[in-house]
Amino acid sequence: MSSQPRCPYCRQFVYLDALRCPNCSAELGFHIVTRQFYGLRQGRTEIEGQNWYACSNRDWACNWLVWENAPAGRCFSCRLTRRRPAADDTVALEKLAKTEEAKRRLLLQLGDLGLPIIPWDLEKGGLGFDLLSSLSDGKQVRIGHANGIITLDLAESLDDRREALRVRLGEPYRTMLGHLRHEVGHYYQNVLLSDESSWAQCRGLFGDERESYKDAIARHYKLGAPADWHVNFISEYATMHAWEDFAETFAHYLHITGTLQTAAVIGIHLDAAVSNLRDTDVEPLESYGREPIQRLLNDWEWMSQAFNRINRSMGFSDLYPFTLVEPVREKLAFIHDIVTRAPLSPQEQLAIAFRPAHEPT
Ligand SMILES: [Zn+2]
Ligand SMILES: [Zn+2]
C-alpha cells in the first residue's frame, strides 16, 4: 500500500521520481518493500539490518534501491528491462530514463494490486521489457507484447512525435504510461485466465481471441472502427480484436484505480454539499480490492468529472476523455474480478521477485 512519499529527513513531500529532496537536497533512494524514501550516504543505506544500494542506472535517473543480495547491481525495475539502447546512444538513453520512470510507476501499481510479476530471466514467458528507439538506427520499433516481453518505442517519449501520432490515429489520449498499461494487459490476460470457464466468460465479453489477428489488423487499418464503436467499446482500437479490447479495458482499470489511489493518498474527497454532485461524499480509496466494482465505478464517475473540470480550468483537455458505457462497465467488472481474486501479499511478491536467478527449474 502506498503512502505519501516523503523525505526521511525533513518530511517534505517528494515526487516518485525524485533523486534528491527538493527542500533539503538530501540524496534519496526509493525502497520498494516499504514504499518509502531513504537517505543515501556514499550510494548506500541500511534498512532493517540489510544493505541497500543505489541502482547502477542512477545516472539515468533510476532512484530505486537495490538489495545487497539481488542479482546484478540493478534494481527490480531495471532488471526487467531486457533490451535497451546501446551505451553510446545517449540521445536514446535520455528518452529511456523518461520511459523507465513510467515503468516504475506501473510496477508499483501492479505490486499494490497484488499481481504476480515473474521476471523474464527466471521463467520463459515472464515479464520483460525491450525499450528501443525507432530513431536509433532507422529501424521501426513496433510497440507490442509477445510471450511476456513488452516492446516500446522510446521515440514516442518525444512529445511532438507522440502527439502527431495521437492526432493521426484519432486517439483522445496517448502516453508512455498508457502504452505500458495496455501492453501489460496482454501479459496478464494469459497469466490470470488459467481455466476454461474464465476464458469462456472472457470470450462472452470481449469476443473470441482465436480469430485471426492478422486479418483483424488489415481490416482495422483499411476500414477503421465501426461508426457505432462507442456503444460497446472504450476506444476505437479496442474494436480491432478481442486481444486488444481486453488490453484496452485492462489499461483503463489501471488508469482508474491508479488515479483514485493517488487521490486517496493526497486526501482528496468530494463534499456532496459543496460539489453538488450527488447525495453523499465521494471518498476515493487506496485499494478497491475488497470493494464491489460498483463502488469503484461510482467513485470514478464523480472524481473523473471533478478532475476534468480542474483540467479545463487550466485550459487543458480532459484528464479522462472517455465515457464508460454499460458494456464497458461489464468488461471492467470482469477485470476487477480476475485481478482481485487472489492478490499476493507483498512478501509473496518479493519471494518471486528475488528468487535467485538461474535457478535450475
Ligand atoms: Zn528533505
Ligand atoms: Zn533501477
Q: What is the pLDDT of residues 288-343, one digit of tens each?
A: 999 999 999 999 999 999 999 999 999 999 999 999 999 999 999 999 999 999 88
Q: Which ligand is nearest to the CA of 28?
A: 1
**Greatest CA span in the chain, whole angstroms?**
61
Instruction: Considering only CA atoms, give the Rg of the chain.
Output: 21
One-letter amino acid of 135: L
Q: Please provide the average confidence, as pLDDT, over all residues in the chain.
A: 92
- Output the CA 201–ligand 2 centroid distance in Å: 38
Report CA(4)–ligand 1 centroid distance (Å): 14
Closest ligand, as measured to the CA of 57: 2
Span 240-255, average pLDDT = 98
User: What pLDDT score does 28 carry?
Assistant: 98
Q: What band does 235 get if pLDDT is binned at 50, 70 and 90?
A: very high
What's the rounded Cα separation, in Å, for the pair 109 and 351? Answer: 18
- In Å, how far are 55, 59, 75, 174, 333 from 130, measured between CA atoms? 19, 20, 16, 19, 31
Strands 128-132, 81-83: pairing kind: parallel
Spatial separation of the C-alpha atoms in residues 328 and 281, rounded to whole Å: 25
| 75 three-class SS | coil
- d(Cα 216, Cα 314) in Å, to the nearest integer? 40
The 10 Å CB-count burial string (b at 16+, else e) for 88-103 is ebeebbebbbbbbbbb
Q: How many CB atoms lie within 10 A of CB 280?
A: 10
Ligand nearest to the CA of 22: 1
pTM above 0.85, yes or no: yes
pLDDT, position 359:
46
CB 105 within 8 A of CB 58: no
* 174 pLDDT more than 80: yes
Q: Are 345 and 351 in contact (CB under 8 A)?
A: no
Query: What mean pLDDT comes out for the span 196-211?
Result: 96
User: What one-character DSSP code corresponds to residue 229?
Assistant: G
Query: What does the pLDDT average to over 29-57?
Result: 95
DSSP state of 268: -
Cα 101 to averaged position of ligand 2 atoms, centre (Å): 9
> Worst-scoring range by mean pLDDT, 47-61, 152-166, 242-256, 308-322?
152-166
Q: Ligand 1 centre and the CA of 24: distance in Å?
A: 4
Q: What is the mean pLDDT of residues 22-43?
A: 95
* Whether 259 contacts 238, CB under 8 Å: no
Alpha carbon of 62 to ligand 2 centroid (Å) = 5
| pLDDT score of 225 more than 50 | yes
Find the DSSP H helices in 208-270: 213-223, 242-266
Q: Which three cell numbers stand for residue 42?
A: 556514499
Domains of the chain, residue spans: 1-79, 196-341
pLDDT digits (tens, 9 = 90+) for 256-278: 999 999 999 999 999 988 877 66
Three-state secondary-structure class, residue 156: helix
- For position 82, what pLDDT does the model report? 96
Q: Which ligand is nearest the CA of 21, by number?
A: 1
3-state secondary structure of 71: coil
Cα 29 to middle of ligand 1, angstroms: 12
Tell me how far the alpha carbon of residue 163 lies from the centroid of ligand 1, in angstroms. 36
Asked if pLDDT for residue 2 goes beyond 60, the answer is no
Centre of ligand 1 to C-alpha 6, Å, is: 8
In this predicted structure, the answer to whether residue 358 has a pLDDT above a threshold of 60 is no
